[in-house]
Structure formats: structure tokens, C-alpha cells
A = this chain, B = another copy of it.
Amino acid sequence: MNDRAKFYRRMHDIPESWGTAVNVQSMVFGNMGESSATGVAFTRNPSTGENRLYGEFLINAQGEDVVAGIRTPQPLTKAAREEMGDVSPSMEEALPEVFTQFREVVERLEKHYRDMQDIEFTVEKGRLYMLQTRNGKRTAKAALKVAVDLASEGLITKEEAVMRVEPGSLDQLLHPTIDPGSPRDVIASGLPASPGAATGKVVFTAEEAEKLGGAGEAVILVREETSPEDIRGMDAARGIVTARGGMTSHAAVVARGMGRPCVSGAGEIRIDGKAGEFHARGRTIKAYDIITIDGSTGEVLAGAVKMIEPELSGDFGTLMGWADGVRRLKVRANAETALDAGTARQFGAEGIGLCRTEHMFFDPARIAAVREMILADDEAGRRAALAKILPMQRQDFVELFKIMEGLPVTIRLLDPPLHEFLPHTEEDLAAVAEATGLDPKKLMLRAKELHEVNPMLGHRGCRLGVAYPEIYEMQVRAIVEAACEVVGEGRPAPIPEIMHPLVAKGEEMKFLRDLTDRTAKTVIEERGCQIDYKVGTMVELPRAAIRAGDLAANAEFFSFGTNDLTQTTFGISRDDSGRFLGHYIEKGIFEKDPFVSLDQEGVGDLIRIAAERGRAARPDVKLGICGEHGGDPASIQFCEEVGLDYVSCSPYRVPIARLAAAQAAIGEREKDR
């Protein structure tokens, strides 16, 4: 089968396995001689969206001949034939009268159905028969252009144009993609964890990724799984592959945030770190071999493959503008680095919905002070170590506030359990002790003491702030000092939203609110500056949702942390769900992974309860969502229904969220009618 036939089949939803058994209505015959023909057409180019009749036909042939790939069909128009350098005449040239009639009919059909049409036709002895017309399948790029063009031509409204583009498909426009015409030598397959494609040399450690990546080499980081220490290596790599972990594993979440393509949970891959190679499907790929990953399909390919670079055309901007005009939900981004914040703004984010301060603690310049704090014997020791972190943390916020130019920035105080900041293996412990001069025995003992059976449900989130208020005091101080500094420079006043994670009780929120206000007041008095800030909480535990009224007494905003809320509501650890979710999906118990698309019945009901109870206690409580679901169109639809104020997602998903929010708003308005 030739490529053109394959393309038709794809556009017509015809599986390749179907062979020639395509059932075209065959009461008329296109194989009755040279004045007979059969063909398929799109009223516009389904690949680019260009407004030009597009299609192919065969003289003296039946419908299946066009798609079977045995004879090569000819283009419909003269212009197309000339562009392609074809010799055989186009339909326009071979059957000019029929063609003129055909062109009129298809134009009428497009106007009637108000969308690009996919048409099958037969000419029997000079007479045109229309066999079928339907809305044509199209690429993301074409969908965008067709929608904008149809609206510009007055055939549909701008709102209809907004409804015509599948938000998730924008991913194809925002990342490089593999040329669909290129052959794919698949060596392993995993989950499509972060979209886009990348080619590079295989490396097996974050350190090497950082070294080679820093030297300008394109590398793909291949790991069993990733952890926070790998972040700089992940950032330096063009793409990431992991053998374990799901759609919401560390690798997947971080890669999406960074806009790096990622294939996660490629269980076929067995990494042999010692030999410096990995094995999959009986093949061996060595370090520095070139591979390509397709994060949109989850495939890992051998060698380099031809790429198509993204092109954010004028149509994209036009459609997003229309979307912004109708949506009610604000769209923010989850970002903590200057790079992410910049990307987020470029993609139209209206603020930061989640700045995870712990990401700032892994920086090599700081981790030593963080560890010193963890090892401190008492509060005084912890405060001394925190004093070293304060200026760096403040600088982080200064930078973010400047980039965000007065847009709201929600900053989540330290969340992960402290043991995440300590090295995990005895070797690493020894190395860290050696490098930092910390007592290795003490380091080992403390790591052992901090070990938890279920770290997800352990000493983390605001439980750190309750046990060691000095940590949160340092962070609040850094935030408020940074805000004062930015205002002092005459820049737009930041709106810091100080967010406490993992709150479960009203009393807890009260304690945290008092701590925050007390610290902020001190700084404001010290600096003599005018700063507005808000204090709020994550709602990521079922109890927080149930007792939202208690929390709202001291929280000006809620951000639904749907990752953790899904974990606790289902009692499913994301990190461990790989073992059984497969059985569940196979047996039809789960339709989709609840960590990807919000479980609206269960987790969603808790969100609904929290929104109701929170608003009953504080009518103007601001409500947002900052879990992975904040970038999922179906989940955004739900956020609109529940009446949240904003969604927050990875920078690269901001356009998707903007479009999905617009569609949700239009959908809700339709319902009201």
C-alpha cells in the first residue's frame, strides 16, 4: 500500500487491515469506461486546513480502487496536479463539465453542513453521483485553520469556531512532532506521559544528562524512574524515558511541567546500568546510541526520525482570543522557575496557581543548608540553617513576582516529608557526609528516624509547619520581603497567595493563619511597606473537603489538590497503582485513569461539597484547582459546572485549558437555555 493510500485510509477511518473489502454503495459504477470515474474529496485540505478543494479520483475505477493503493489516483484540480508534478490529467482537465458541477455541489454541501466535508462520489458515463458526505476528519492544525476560516467567512460564529477544535489536540501544535510520513522503528512502548517528540543520545544518569546537555548535546535520559534529585538532569535532556511509573509519576509530572516529551512506564525496557545499556524486544541499545521518543504515543524509536516543528500561526492566536472572550474560568500555571513562569505567560497564563517551594530546596546550593536544618538538634539549630536559605528563597520570589507583573502568585509552603531531602542509599549518605562534613553516623541515624511506612500519609505538608513553625515562618518572611522589594523598585505590586498544604482541620488552619499573619505583620512593619497578601489552603484531603466551612473561617482561598485528593479518596497511591490499575482497566472497572481525568462522581462530589460548604462560610472564598486535572478538558468542564474561579496546570497545557474553559462556558450557557 502506498503512502497516499495510507493517508486516505487514516483520514477516512479505514483500518489498514481492511484490505479492499471497503463497502462503498455500488448501485452506480465508476468502471464503465473512460467517462466513468470514482473519487474522494475534502472541501478543504484536511492536513493543513487550506481552503482549496482537495482529493483524488480514478478514471474507470470503483471506490475501493482509490483506497486500495493498487492504482495511483490523480488529483482533482489542475493546480494540484501541477504542484505535484503529475502527468496524468486531473479531474478538472479530464472531466471538465462534471468537475464544474461537482465543485458547485461540494460548495453547497459545505455551506449546508457548515463544516469541511469529506465526500465520496462516482461518475457513471459522464453523470455525477454523490455517494456520501460527512464532516471530514482533520489534523489539529487543519481543525484550527478551518474553524477560524469558517468563522471569518461568516459560515459559523466565533463561538462555534471555538467549539470546533478539540482542546487536547492543541498539544500537537505546541510541541515538535514526528513527521507522520516517516517510518517508525519501534523498540519499546510505554505511556504517552508528556507530548512532543525528541531525538538524542541515550544517557542513564541525571549527572550525565546535565553534563552533555550543558555542553549542547541532545540527550534522552533513560531511567528506571526519576526522583527530585534528577530534576536538573531532566531539564538538560531533550526527553525522558522511564521503565516504571504511570501518567502521574514524578517523571511524567515534571516533564509535562518542563514541556519535555516523556514516555513513562515502558515496562519492556530493562536497564543494565553497569553495562551501560538497555534491552527491549530482544534488542540492545547502548549509551550514546541515538533514539527518538514520541511522547504523544508513548513510543521509543531507534535512530533519528524526521520532525515537524510547531508553528504557532496567526490562526492559533485568533482562536485563543475568541476563546478568552467567552470563558469565565481563569487559567493559571503551575510554575516555580523563571523559565516555567515565562513559558506560562507566553502561553497566556493569568497567574501562578501553584508554586511548589520544595523544588527550590533541591538546588545544590541550598540542599546543604536544608540538610543542616534537618539534622539540627533543636529549634535554634534549625533557625540558623533556615537563615542561610532565606535570602535565596526571597530571591526566587523576587524573580517570580517580576515575571508575573502583578498577577496573582499562589505559593505553597514546604510540602514533602523531610526524608526526601536526605540521600537514600548508604553510598549516597557516605558521599554527602564526605562532601558536606556532616557526621555520617548522625546523617544515617536521622535518615532512619525519618523513614516512614506510608510517606504519602506521613509527616509532610502543614504538619511540618505545625511541628517546626520556624520553617514556615522563614518561607512567609521570604515571600513578604520579596513582595516589599519588588514594590520598592516601583514595579506592579505582587499579589502573593500564601498556601498551606495538607490541612485537615479548622484548628490547624487557624494555627497556620496566625503564624502567617504574625510573620507578615512583622516584616511589613520592619520594612514599612504596603503589601496585600492572601492566606489559603490546599483542599487535598477528604476531611478538608467535608469540613471546608471550618477551613474557610481562616482561608481566603482553596486550591483543590486533586492529585492527593484522588489518592486519599480512592485510597490509591499513585506510585503503587501501576501494579493493579491495569487489571482494573482490563476488567472494565475503571474506564480511565482517575489520576489523568478527574473522577467526577467520587472526588468530584467531594469538591462540590467543599465548594458549597466553603462558600456558605465565606461567600467570596476563591476556588481553584491545581492538580494534574487542571489541564484536562473533561475535568475543566467539571470545574466550570461546579463554578470554580480558576484552573491551574502545566505551562504547556495553558492554551489547552484556555480553550477547554471556553468550551465549558459555552456548554454551560447552552444548558441554561
Specify the chain B residue showing the minimal Cβ separation from A571.
B541
Chain B: CB-nearest residue to A507: B589
The docked-state distance in angstroms from the alpha carbon of A576 to that of B457 is 8
- Report which of B546, B564, B567 forms a contact with A606, defined as CB distance below 8 A: B546
Shortest beta-carbon distance, A546 to chain B, in Å? 5
Instruction: Say whether, besides A546-B602, A546-B606, A569-B546, A576 and B507 are in contact (CB < 8 Å).
Output: no
> A540's closest neighbor in chain B, by CB?
B571
- A505-B589 CB under 8 A given contacts A564-B571, A571-B541, A606-B542: yes
Range, interface on chain A:
35 or more
The stretch among A190-198, A370-378, A579-587 that forms the contact with chain B is: A579-587
Cα–Cα distance between A24 and B601 once the two chains are bound (Å): 65
Give A576 Cβ to nearest chain B Cβ, in Å: 4
- Chain B residues lying within 8 Å of A504, measured Cβ to Cβ, are 570-572, 602
- Would B457 and A567 count as touching, CB distance under 8 A? yes
Cβ contact within 8 Å between A543 and B602: yes
Contact with B along A442-486 (1 / 0, CB 8 A): 000000000011111111000100110000000000000000000
Which residues on B sit within 8 Å (CB–CB) of A505?
589-590, 602
Closest chain-B Cβ to A291's Cβ sits at a distance in Å of 26
A502 at the binding interface (Cβ < 8 Å) = yes
A573 and B466 in contact (CB under 8 A), knowing A459-B579, A606-B542?
A: no
Q: How far is the CB of A505 from chain B (nearest CB, A)?
A: 6
Residues on the B chain within 8 Å of A457, using CB: 454, 456-457, 567-568, 571-573, 576
Q: Are A454 and B569 in contact (CB under 8 A)?
A: no
Which one of B541, B543, B571, B576 lies within 8 Å of A452 (CB-CB)? B576
The residues in A between 564 and 610 inclusive whose CB is less than 8 angstroms from any CB of B are 564, 567-573, 575-576, 579-580, 583-584, 587-590, 599, 601-603, 605-606
CB <8 Å contact, B603 and A454? no
Q: How far is the CA of A579 from the CA of B546 in the complex (A)?
A: 25
Q: Which residue on B lies nearest to A572, using beta carbons?
A: B457
| A615 proximal to B (CB < 8 A) | no
Query: Do A602 and B547 touch across chains, with their CB atoms under 8 A apart?
Result: yes
Q: Which residue of B569, B580, B605 is within 8 Å of A466 (Cβ)?
A: B580
In the docked arrangement, what's the CA distance between A546 and B504, Å? 18
Contact among B571, B584, B603 with A502 in the assembled complex (CB-CB below 8 Å): B571
By a CB distance below 8 angstroms, the chain B residues around A572 are: 457, 504
Residue of B nearest to A505 (CB): B589
Known: A467-B580, A569-B546, A583-B467. A453 touches B575 (CB 8 A): yes
CB distance from A320 to the nearest CB of B (A): 36
10 pairs of A and B residues whose beta carbons are closest in the complex = A457-B573, A542-B542, A454-B573, A458-B576, A543-B602, A453-B575, A541-B571, A459-B579, A507-B589, A454-B456
27 of the cross-chain contacts (CB-CB < 8 Å) are A452-B575, A452-B579, A453-B455, A454-B457, A454-B576, A456-B571, A457-B457, A457-B567, A457-B571, A457-B576, A459-B579, A463-B583, A466-B583, A466-B584, A466-B589, A467-B579, A467-B580, A502-B571, A505-B589, A505-B590, A540-B571, A542-B542, A542-B569, A547-B601, A547-B602, A550-B601, A568-B571
